[in-house]
Chain A
């Protein structure tokens, strides 16, 4: 009897078994995107060594097997979030706003990225005859994939009411700029935090919202278990995080800046959204942003 009690007691106190922080599948599924939207691909933002260090840090902090999924495409990340396929994710601002929406139900717990004063803009060639957003009626426009704030949600929100001749997607702002240069499109989405483009361009419109930073988010199932020790372990070893991630130990993401953007993302998401290479009428109910 005493022996039994001892054995049971020993199991209860053994570290690991009780404090492992896993998702519902028994592993910790982690999504990773570069914290700045549309600059470079995730593959190029992080070296193999950095990814391995991140994986082993997450593994040590959670004591759970980690499946790390770095993604180049915000669109696929958006799908993963909407299907709640990740337990934890490192996201750029647009996806953070999307993840915190009621449909995905994630909670942001740490701020990512460095202060960049991002703003969403719409660029046209210097020589073009476009002077206001209304002039873009029947124009061809280049966007970043669905999920990007500066490249998708805000531009569409601002183009509300227009009939576009074609919407084309590119993975990053550099590729969009090339499309503009080759006259494949008349206007592109742009991020004001990027270095000024080499092409002679003009800003047709700059959105008023100052964009928040990206964030590390946790799924509903993780936030309902005890994740404080996990966060503390990450904070204590923040130096092991990839530098490009800009993980800010102990810094909660600012909620105020993201609220209006969450509303915009949610209302644009409710629209019928444009397909690559197809004409599109920007139309749908619009939240007050």
Chain B
């Protein structure tokens, strides 16, 4: 198809009935606008979904900081004396332990949260479960090199798929942390028996020792985005269908039906002009104009026919 042909198809070249032409034009325009809208909204929604997840991750990390604070200030003073005694080490006094435990409960609160995972990874951890892997080590290293960095976000790929992550540094800001994390001699004896004396010591004040890392499967981002996109596209399509139906009915009522009537009357008028009346002439729109023109033509025709009849009389 050549360009003029396409333009002809779109704007009409008089080769089709009006209604069909309108349907074609509207369908093409609507489809094109839905496509363009979806393409633009795709970007917008992806950005929004990521924003939402970053915001939620940030909220999680803030909550975990609050849990840590609560444990340091309110729980530790009560439990710490127990850990100095002969019993088994109670990790409930440990800020990191309560944060990760609370997060596990949080995940059960809403199915949406289940996909999030929270880690407090460290280069030299007390609990070897928190040992930073290669990816986490690189994040912690970049926090150590640029201590003013507030947070890092990005994407990582694992055998389980793509993940979106948000990370913040963990800095030793209080001397109270060093009771348990500086030397085995300073730590409670029960902690030594529980975690050993070979790891999790030698931390310094103001050192970045690890990172809080929240990860979410990229699928979750994509799913949220796809859902918004699908809803919007369906709504748009619905609006367009309504607009199309309305345009069709307006076209039919205002133009097509009167035009068919006028054309029928014009046909009759060509035989018996006197008996035909173009009632649409009272209308104020273009149909009224057309009817008035036909009315004048009918009158001229009637006069001409009368004159012709008179001349034929002997």
Taking Cβ atoms with an 8 Å cutoff, the residues of A that contact B are 25-27, 41-44, 48, 51-52, 55-56, 59-60, 63-65, 67-73, 75-76, 79, 145, 169-171, 275-278
Contact = CB atoms under 8 A, between A and B. Distances in A.
Interface in B109-127: 114, 117, 127
Contacts of B114: 26
A151 B195 CA distance: 17
Nearest to A277: B86
Interface in B182-218: 189-190, 192-199
B198 A145 contact: no
B131 interface: yes
A72 B196 contact: yes
B268 interface: no
A70 B159 contact: no
Contacts of A25: 104
Contact of A75 (B134, B158, B159, B194): B194
B307 interface: no
Given A70-B129, A169-B193, A59 B159 contact: yes
A171 B197 contact: yes
Nearest to B215: A65
Contacts of B89: 76
B87 interface: yes
Contact of B198 (A67, A68, A72, A170): A72
Given A75-B193, A171-B192, A276-B189, A70 B128 contact: yes
Contacts of B158: 59
Given A26-B114, A51-B131, A73-B196, A275 B160 contact: no
Contacts of B198: 41, 43-44, 72
A155 B154 CA distance: 54
Nearest to A167: B86
Nearest to A44: B198
Given A44-B198, A72-B128, 9 more contacts: A43-B198, A43-B199, A59-B158, A65-B160, A68-B129, A73-B195, A76-B194, A171-B197, A276-B87
